[in-house]
Structures are given as structure tokens and as C-alpha cells.
Chains A and B, each alone.
Chain A
Amino acid sequence: AQTVTQSQPEMSVQEAETVTLSCTYDTSENNYYLFWYKQPPSRQMILVIRQEAYKQQNATENRFSVNFQKAAKSFSLKISDSQLGDTAMYFCAFMKRNAGGTSYGKLTFGQGTILTVHP
């Protein structure tokens, strides 16, 4: 079974600054996907960024980037130039890669980190 751990229950950052959210996971799988999701007060989960474990290059999406350390089983999210709209709960999630690369399966989530961006 997989486990995902987010050790920071809450974090805060000033607008325009950079913040890093931590995530570690435990798995015996070699092929998997990792995700960061954002859940603002509107409660809709929004995909922020995804990483395929077999790709060594860290994923980036505009102001969001990850530091993926496969050997250490670490997957941190860096938010640059933080904006007020980034205020949300952030979840790290793991999904095993199926044979053939098909995309159905269980997401295992961490407990979440509440990020508050202050003006």
C-alpha cells in the first residue's frame, strides 16, 4: 500500500514571495504518477501539476514547479511569485501507473497543507 505524508499542516507567505510545500511518499512501485492538487474555499479540487516517475526532469507549470527526488521519495511543490489567489489547501497525491499506461486507478492523498498568501 502507498502512503503520502505532508508534514506541514499550515504555511503562510507574503504576496510575490516564494514558498515550498513538502511531500514524501512510500511505495514499492517503480512506475507511478505524482500530483499536486489545490482546493480553494470553493472546494473544487484543481490539478496544479503532475509528474511521471520515469521522467527525471522536474515538471513546471508557469509559477509552479516541483522538486522530484525519486530515490528519496520526495515531491515538493514550489510556488513562485505567490498571489492571493493561491490561498488554498494543497494536496499531494500518488497514483500507480497501470500496465500500458492507462489512466485509471486510485489516488492516494496526503493530509494537505493549508497555504495562506498575505497581501
Chain B
Amino acid sequence: KAGVTQTPRYLIKTRGQQVTLSCSPISGHRSVSWYQQTPGQGLQFLFEYFSETQRNKGNFPGRFSGRQFSNSRSEMNVSTLELGDSALYLCASSLVFRNYGYTFGSGTRLTVV
């Protein structure tokens, strides 16, 4: 069974630009979460989607947004990129009605220059 797929794996953007990251969950997983990982702040929760609805949101500015489609695929968008947005962005999916833990993708490494 295919794992969680994140695209692209690497991305370099310029300050002020916007970026969209994609996540395809494991088949049958309907919950998708996003995390930002940086050396200084560690792993921080961005948001979570289930049934195309945002269920939880972390403490990030409104420049960070996301959505989930009817096939459970999710995208996150960051507008007006800042240097501090450089990070590894991880997507995770899970079954909703059995908590076996989240399965993570390999992440998208975003570098803002």
C-alpha cells in the first residue's frame, strides 16, 4: 500500500512569493495534518483536515492556509513568503475511527531566499 506522498520534495522560493505544497494520504485515511519542522522551533502543528473541514489549527499567521479535497488529498499554501518560513513541511494522515497513530510523508524542504 502506498505511503503518504508529498510533492515536491524540495522547493526554493524568493521572499514575497507564494507556494503550494501537496499531500496525498494513504488510501482510506481521511484525516490529514500538516507540521512545520525547524531546528529552532522543532515540530509545530499547522492544521488538520477531516472531511474537507479544518478541525484544528495551530498558532501560525493567516499567511498559512490549507484545504482538503473530496478524495482526502490536501494542499497547504503559504503566501508572502518570509525567510523564517524556510523549513521542512511534513504531512501526516490517519484513519479517523481507529487511532493507530499518524503516518508521515517524507516532507517538502522549502528554502526561502
Residues of A near any B CB (own CB < 8 A): 33, 35, 37, 42-47, 50, 52, 91, 95, 97, 101-112
Q: Which of A47, A50, A95, A102 is the most central at the interface, judged by chain B CB atoms within 10 Å of its CB?
A: A102
Looking at chain B, what size class is its interface with the partner chain?
20 to 34
Q: Is the CB of A33 within 8 A of B102?
A: no
Q: Is the CB of B101 within 8 A of A43?
A: no
Interchain pairs with CB closer than 8 A, number: 69
Could you name 22 residue pairs across A and B whose Cβ atoms are closer than 8 Å?
A: A35-B101, A42-B106, A43-B107, A44-B105, A45-B90, A50-B99, A95-B99, A97-B99, A102-B96, A102-B97, A103-B94, A103-B99, A103-B100, A104-B33, A104-B50, A104-B55, A105-B48, A105-B56, A107-B33, A107-B45, A108-B45, A109-B35
* The 6 nearest A-B residue pairs measured at CB: A103-B99, A45-B104, A104-B31, A109-B43, A47-B101, A44-B106
